[in-house]
Structure 1
């Protein structure tokens, strides 16, 4: 049986999922909502998920990873784990955009999704977010971009469309819009490996694979580092 393992480490949630490649059915999922736990717990919950579903790591046919944007550290941990598994098992690596997966996750659970545009927002500190816009069927309306939030952000889109905002960056935007009738806000939405895996199954059938040796996450912005004083 061909099985796909998906990893989502772009946020504080460390999430993994298994899908059957033939029909896209979900075989199992596990997540840990504990800050800064990815480096110590990711491989543990992968092993536990495989054991709980009755599979071995050698049963994997591909690994998918949430590609970013998101936490720099989280993306590096997920990317390194995915690359290590793919290299060791000689299987394909699939990268799925974090914002795209989050939008698909919400659209799948929304009544009359064709009536909305979907805007995932991930906190990028201060009044900045990583955001994108998608239609209900996953078409990209606005490519992932860093946005500085103010009362006029996405004003053109809100003038013509009903937009659903979600993700841990959306809470900063809601007070700026006031009573904008075309804006809806959803709370408690976190990135999930289940959504990553669902999109990755389709990518597998299209053979949309990454070069394992040279793959790097999509950070969207340059990683900011400082030089120690001593």
Structure 2
């Protein structure tokens, strides 16, 4: 029996989900900041135990690959790679921004009437973002963007755009009154949507090289010097 374990650690949410073939059978998550390192393995163990599934039953592990929190991505990647190495099973990567867009699309009536712009908060006025159609066909590449009043102006002239994610509030404050800019709150990546997007990749054998895999950090980690 094919079981897929999905992990999401790129944001403040630390979550795991288990799929049996294409059916979601269990989810466990914590919405506590900086809980990933101390809770991810506990969540996995508890979820498998509750679903009466052993580690040896897993067919693959799916991971939210970024961009996002450097520390969270590193913890999720290390956990996923450790499981894949020890169990000799494949690793599947899902874009964090694509997962956020997929969640927004699921929450939108008549989704083909819009394009989507998930945003992950970065430092200051910067966000990690891209534009995508309702079928998850990318319009622009994933990139760091410093949001300004005229950001996405050419797209907003002809399209209704739904903005979502932790970085969207930065942009909302800049373009109040723009009728084509819509905002959807409370969109965070979760392990369940990571698993949903990973299932087609599992069927098509689209896997990562476990030995050399690294998350899509997008930018180098920003490190400050200790005050001491």
Q: TM-score range by the shorter chain?
A: over 0.9
**For residues 51 and 178 of structure 1, do their structure 2 counterparts lie closer, same or farther at Cα, with a shift above 3 Å needed?**
same
Residue 168 (structure 1) aligned with residue 139 (structure 2)? no
Distance 1:218 1:41 in 2: 22
- Residue 19 of structure 2 corresponds to 19
Distance 1:168 1:225 in 2: 21
Residue 190 (structure 1) aligned with residue 188 (structure 2)? yes
Alpha-carbon RMSD:
1.2
- Residue 33 of structure 1 corresponds to 31
1:27-79 Cα shifts (integer Å, max 9, x gaps) = 11111000100000000011111111111111100000000000000000000
In the TM superposition, what is the alpha-carbon distance from 1:109 to its structure 2 partner? 2.3
- Residue 117 of structure 1 corresponds to 115
Q: Tell me, which stretches of 5 or more residues in structure 1 are unaligned?
A: none
What is the TM-score normalised by the length of structure 1?
0.96
- Residue 9 of structure 1 corresponds to 9
Q: Tell me, which stretches of 5 or more residues in structure 2 are unaligned?
A: none
Which of 61, 66, 69 is equivalent to 1:68? 66
Report if aligned partners of 2:13, 2:29 keep a CA contact under 8 Å in 1: yes
SS at structure 2 position matched to 1:27: strand
- Residue 90 of structure 2 corresponds to 92
Which of 68, 81, 84 is equivalent to 1:83? 81
- Residue 210 of structure 1 corresponds to 208
In the TM superposition, what is the alpha-carbon distance from 1:228 to its structure 2 partner? 5.7
Distance 1:87 1:225 in 2: 30
- Residue 144 of structure 2 corresponds to 146
1:108-128 Cα shifts (integer Å, max 9, x gaps) = 221100001111100002000
- Greater displacement, 165-174 / 217-226: 217-226
Distance 1:214 1:226 in 2: 28
Distance 2:98 2:60 in 1: 20
What is the TM-score normalised by the length of structure 2?
0.97
SS at structure 2 position matched to 1:173: helix
1:140-170 Cα shifts (integer Å, max 9, x gaps) = 1111110101101111111111100110110
SS at structure 2 position matched to 1:177: coil
Report if aligned partners of 2:11, 2:68 keep a CA contact under 8 Å in 1: yes
Distance 1:177 1:169 in 2: 14
Report if aligned partners of 2:104, 2:184 keep a CA contact under 8 Å in 1: no
SS at structure 2 position matched to 1:31: strand
Distance 1:121 1:227 in 2: 28
